[in-house]
Amino acid sequence: MSDYLVQFNNISKFFGKVIALKDVTMKLRKGEIMCLLGDNGAGKSTLIKTLAGVHKPDEGEIIVEGKKTIFDSPKDALDMGIATVYQDLALVSLMSVTRNFFMGREPMKGPPFFKTFDIKKANKIAAERMGQIGIDVRDPSQAVGTMSGGERQCLAISRAIYFGAKVLVLDEPTSALGVHQASVVLKYIVKAASQGLAVILITHNVHHAYPVGNSFTVLNRGKSLGTYAKKDITREKLLSMMAGGEELNKLEVELQEMNRSSAN
């Protein structure tokens, strides 16, 4: 049995002549937080959709718990325990916390063919789950739109964990949050990982990623610049890779040459 819960080996994805991903490899252990870093256009969105079963890779293989796997749909990925929480969260603002928590998977009660939604049980579960992450939901029937951004993000993550996620893919979970709300979400992610969940945290914010990540994969124009354990890379090096440090250094040299030419 492999040490890795999930492996994405040499994944490539093409859209016509456009190379969206080329030979991207990631390996994730149980309880690990891997931060997937990259600027706009790096290929993060395509990789997310490939992991989630929206796209099939054109090259490479996906291995889950030691078995080569082909996802024909997002449902296949979810059935294998790979859950993705997108930036839009898939929450309905006017619906209650409880309704959003279960959304199509509500606990039912009553005899066969006459089952009804067990709202009492659902409210209890939703309140307890949110309470476990330090969010006090006094009234689970309150509309999700009344919650803060951080609380909504935690609700979406908690829902995925409750319904059996083994691997949680988070798409920019802190991008629209303030400092305090972001810290609440990041603390919850660390707590979930400590209980055995594997997390892929997609972000362009190194300052949010570095404190919580165990490993870091950097994408640039669809290619991986490598995966690094935290002990092997500094925050400053990650920032340089994200900012295209080599390209900026080259640009600085070219500008200096231009200035000297203009002076002459």
User: CATH number for the domain including 210?
Assistant: 3.40.50.300
* pLDDT given at position 252: 61
Q: Nearest Cα to 153, choosing from 120, 198, 82, 201?
A: 201
Q: Is 131 a domain residue?
A: no
DSSP summary character for residue 40:
T
Q: Which pLDDT belongs to residue 170?
A: 93
pLDDT number for residue 1:
55
- Examine residue 145 and state whether it is found in any structural domain, yes or no: no
For residue 254, tell me if it sits in a domain. yes
Cα 140 from chain centre: 26
| Residue 170, domain member (yes or no) | yes
**Is 32 a member of any domain?**
yes
108 lies in a domain? no
Range of the domain at 86: 6-90+162-263
Give the other-Cβ count within 10 Å of 261's Cβ: 8
Whole-model pTM over 0.95: no
Residues lower than pLDDT 50 in the chain: none
Residue 185 φ/ψ, nearest 5 degrees: -65, -45
Structural domain total, the chain: 1
pLDDT of residue 245: 52
